[in-house]
Amino acid sequence: MKSNKLIPILAGTLAVFLATPGWASDAGHTSEAMEHAGKAQAHGEMGHAKESLEHAKESLTHAKAAGKEHAEAHKHMDEAIKHLEEAIQHAEKGHAAESAKHTEEAMKHMRKSGH
C-alpha cells in the first residue's frame, strides 16, 4: 500500500520537470556531456582512442545543446566545445593521452558553466 502513495508524489515531481523543459533539458544536456566526457577521458587514459572518440563526439553534441540553451553558461560551454573538438582530433589520430587531457579540460569548463 505504501508504494501506491508514492505514485502521486513521483508524478508531481515528473510534472515539475516537464513543466520547465528549458531548465530540465539543459541540466540533462550538461549531465550527458559530462558523463560522455568522463568516459572519453577514461578511455583515452587507457589508450582506447576509438572509444574515446565516440564518447568525445557524444559529449560535444550535448555540450553544444547546453551552450545554446543558457547564455550565461555560453562562455564556459564554448571553451568546453573547443576542448572536445581538440579531443576528437587527437583521438582520430590515435593520441589517446592527449585526447584525455582535452576532455578533462572540457569537463572543468562544463562544471564552471553552473549547470
Domain ranges of the chain: 23-112
> Cα–Cα distances in Å, from 38 out to 8, 13, 19, 20, 69?
35, 28, 30, 27, 22
Q: How far apart are CA 106 and CA 50, in angstroms?
A: 18
Q: What pTM did the predictor assign? A: 0.54
pLDDT digits (tens, 9 = 90+) for 12-31: 444 434 333 444 444 688 88
Q: How far apart are CA 115 and CA 110, in angstroms?
A: 8
Buried b (16+ CB within 10 A) or exposed e, 75-97: ebbebbbebbbbbbebbeeebbe
C-alpha cell at 103: 576532455
pLDDT digits (tens, 9 = 90+) for 34-75: 999 999 999 999 999 999 999 999 999 998 888 777 666 678
In CATH, what is the architecture of 23-112?
Up-down Bundle (1.20)
For residue 89, the model assigns a pLDDT of 97
Q: How far apart are CA 40 and CA 88, in angstroms?
A: 9
For residue 110, the model assigns a pLDDT of 87
pLDDT digits (tens, 9 = 90+) for 45-55: 999 999 999 99
C-alpha cell at 67: 551552450
